[in-house]
Every structure is written in C-alpha cells, then in structure tokens.
Structure 1
Amino acid sequence: MPFLFPQALVPAVPVSGEKDIYFPVHRVYCVGANYADHVAEVGSEGREKPFFFSKPADALVVCREGKEVEIPYARDTDNLCLEVELVVAIGKTAPKVGKITPEEAEKYIFGYAAGVEFTRRNWQKYVRENRQPWEKAKGFDYSALVTEIKDKRRMPDPDNLSIWLYVDNQERQRGNTDRMIWKIPEIISELSESWRLTAGDLIYTGTPAGSGPIKEGQSFEGGINGAGTFKAKMVAP
C-alpha cells in the first residue's frame, strides 16, 4: 500500500550470540516500585499491587556488549535520573481473551536483557502533584537503554542475579533480583490482565535502591549478571 511518507523502521534489538538476528520490539512496559529497598527508599511499604507505565518502542537505545553508546541528554529537564533494571523479552503472543497465569508465564518468555530506565524527575513530581499522566516524565526520546537480548536457555536463574550501576566510576546501585517484590511470572500475569501481551514486548521489571541524577557529560556503566552489561555517556541534545 502507498504511504504518504516513508514508513518508520520497526525498533529492534540484537539477539546475543546470533548473527543478524533481531528481536522486533512491539511495546515497552515498566513496573514501578518492585524492589523492597527501593520501596522503602521512596516511603512506601508492603506488597502493594504492582503498577505499570509504558514507553514508546522508538525511545529505546541499544547498547551492544563491549561497546559504548552516546545518549542525548533529555530536553526540558535539569533533573534526569537513571536506574538499572532486568528486562524480560516476550517471545509468544497471548490468546485474544483471558489472562496468562503465573504458572503459564515461562512459556511466553524468550529471553532477558539488562536495561536502564530514565525519568525526567522534575516532570514526574509535577504530574504526580497535578494528577496528570506520566508520559512527560517517562515516555520521552532516548528514555530507555537495553542490551542485546539473551535467550533464556543461556541464562542463569533470573530470580538470583546481581545487578549494578556506576556513574563516573562511583557505585550508584547494587542489588539482586531476588529482592523483587513481584516475581517475573506474577508481573507477566498481572500485565496480561489489562493488555494482550504480544511477541516483541519488553518488560522493565523495576530497580533496587539508589536511583539518582545524571548530568550531561557524565558516563555510566553497569549490568546484570548473565543478562548483559552496558556502557554509555550522556551528550548534548
């Protein structure tokens, strides 16, 4: 069919260990406040029902293993924050009706990656106080980094992975995925209650304590044991 202008390319992430094989990205979901220490850090408590937000698929920045990427600093903010997260890659589409049970969740997972989620904290504070949608705080350009996706068959236990982040060689975050409040099968099940999960979806599963700001010109690096590592620098927009 003819288009008015050239159709945008489908965002895609390389599959680790495979030559010229890519994971086409459909949607990007994120889980809020899903680590016990981070929940305490932000003043919440208990095992509250998980909440979700999303980012545009074309907001992703791909970082290949062993490479450094440059990320333009977000416009319209002087308080850009970052946090490291385990990313789940969905490789099978759910039925049109009904939800995925936690027991069924494993068969929908293709693999995992390490990721970084960015927030314009000034706008997050504003939209919270004014009860507005989160898009301006979370869904901006270059608002998520992701490493190559690793097939789950090549992964260690995703419920016991070390997770870390350094900014300018100073440790910012350190934790383990065993501290997730809502485990991966539960996250998939909860998401599927409200959305039909589709092959190509990515799920950012939350972060340990230590989320904080980064400035233009600063570098950061980190990773998740078995899932991937990343290195990047914030540059002028």
Structure 2
Amino acid sequence: MSKLANFREIGRKIVCVGRNYSEHAAELNNPVPTKPILFLKPTSSYVAEGSPIKIPKDCTDLNHEVELGIVIGSRASCISVEEASQAIGGYALGLDMTARDWQNEAKKKGHPWSIAKGFDTSCPISAFVEKDKIKNPNELDIWLTVNGEKRQSGNTRDMIFSVEYLISYISQFFTLEPGDLLLTGTPSGVSRVQPGDVLKAGLGDVVSMQFKVEA
C-alpha cells in the first residue's frame, strides 16, 4: 500500500480553493474570481467514514460543499503548470463543511473566517484514490445527496481554474509536501444540513462516501 494512503496522518496542511465554479459563486452572490481564492483548514478538521459530522455549538447554518481533493505526492515549490501533474500523488473526495452564518458575519466585519471553515469535523474525507484510477481530473462527475435527495451535481470540467493551474499557483506561495491535500472548489447546490441528515457523495464511479450529521 502506498504511503500516501495515510495522507491524513502525514500531510501537514489542507489548502482549499473558494469560488472555483461560477454557478456556485453566483448562488452566494459572490463575484467570479480572476485568480484563485485560497484558504486553509487545519488537519485536525479531518473526519473519516464511520465518524459523524458534528454541527459546532451555536452554528445555525451548516452547509455542505462536495469537492475533488488532490493528494500531493512530491515536494513542489514554484512549479510551472506543465510540471504540476508530476506533483499529484493521488486523489480523494472531500467535503468542505462551512458554518455559513459564522462566515457571513465575519465577512461583514472584514474578519477572517477560519473558524467557519476549520472547526473539528469540517473536512470529511474519503479513502485515498490511487493516481492511475483517474485519467483526467478535469473531467469528473461529482455529486452529493442529502437523505437520498440530490443536492449537488457537477463536473470538474466546469472549474474556473484547472487542477494543474491550481497546483502551480498554490506552489508559488506554499511549498507543497507529500500528503498535503488540495480541495478544488464546489459546484452549485450547497445547502443547510440538520442533525440526523445522511450525506452521501461520489466522484464519478471511482469513490463514494457517507456521513451522518450530529448536533
């Protein structure tokens, strides 16, 4: 088994991309970005199948955001777009759980919204997907259901910035290391979850995962 299968234990950071699908930007009344919007989650936000997503205390609007995750396989700093695919070690399916009420309040005040994105269990994650299982990460169906009802359905070809561009861009600012995870943005359809909801998500027919929401 590849050492990267333990990316949750060996990775040092989770780098996330905001508003990478124009329809998602529109549904939140945000402008479409001209360059990637980046934020970080701590690795303590990881939660694997078999454990629940926990709504943080006093959060009243927790949203799901399903995303393609890129697991970095080799150290990368200031690399070109052409070199970027060499840094891919594998993939994962992830959820960027977002305390939308906290995020909106922070944005109004011009404050950081790290708590809204980085609380414990805010990064549900699938098992590691070997690199050769996905031929083209920029052509993948991605979906999510809540209690069996389809909420999100998209394709990575609709990303504003491609996987290779994102890796190259991020590496200009953060040295990427083996086991690091990049979350590449979410398609439209994000919505509120409640205690007792069951979230199921998938990346084409390559990998799927399921989580229950608890208060």
1:165–1:220: 8 Å Cα contact kept in structure 2? yes
Counterpart for residue 58 of structure 1 = 44
Partner amino acid, structure 1, of 2:126? T
CA shift in 2, pair 1:211/1:199, >3 Å: same
Matched, 1:32 2:18: yes
SS state of the match for residue 179, structure 2? coil
Length-normalised TM-score, structure 1: 0.84
1:93–1:199: 8 Å Cα contact kept in structure 2? yes
Matched, 1:78 2:60: yes
Q: 1-side partners of 2:5 and 2:153: how far apart?
A: 31
Paired residues for 1:1-237 under 5 Å = 21-23=5-7, 24-46=10-32, 48-63=34-49, 68-95=50-77, 99-236=78-215
CA shift in 2, pair 1:120/1:46, >3 Å: closer
Q: 1-side partners of 2:5 and 2:175: how far apart?
A: 25
2:81–2:164: 8 Å Cα contact kept in structure 1? yes
Q: Which has the larger radius of gyration?
A: 1
CA shift in 2, pair 1:171/1:21, >3 Å: closer
1:163-201 C-alpha deviation (Å, 9 max, x unpaired):
110011111001111100000111011111111111111
Structure number having the greater helix percentage: 2
1:36 is displaced (CA, Å) by: 2.2
Q: 1-side partners of 2:122 and 2:165: how far apart?
A: 25
Instruction: Give the aligned CA root-mean-square deviation in angstroms.
Output: 1.9
Q: 1-side partners of 2:196 and 2:164: how far apart?
A: 38
CA shift in 2, pair 1:56/1:46, >3 Å: closer
Q: 2-side partners of 1:169 and 1:41: how far apart?
A: 22
1:20 is displaced (CA, Å) by: 11
CA shift in 2, pair 1:223/1:193, >3 Å: same
**Which 5+ residue runs of structure 2 have no aligned equivalent?**
none
1:19 is displaced (CA, Å) by: 10
Partner amino acid, structure 2, of 1:78? T
1:53 is displaced (CA, Å) by: 0.5
Length-normalised TM-score, structure 2: 0.93
Q: Bigger shift: 82-91 or 155-164?
A: 155-164
Q: 2-side partners of 1:37 and 1:158: how far apart?
A: 19
1:14-46 C-alpha deviation (Å, 9 max, x unpaired):
x7xx69952222100110000122122223455
SS state of the match for residue 79, structure 2? coil
SS state of the match for residue 74, structure 1? coil
**Which 5+ residue runs of structure 1 have no aligned equivalent?**
1-14
Identity %: 36
Partner amino acid, structure 2, of 1:106? S
2:47–2:125: 8 Å Cα contact kept in structure 1? yes
2:11–2:177: 8 Å Cα contact kept in structure 1? no
CA shift in 2, pair 1:148/1:210, >3 Å: same
Partner amino acid, structure 2, of 1:215? Q
2:19–2:32: 8 Å Cα contact kept in structure 1? no
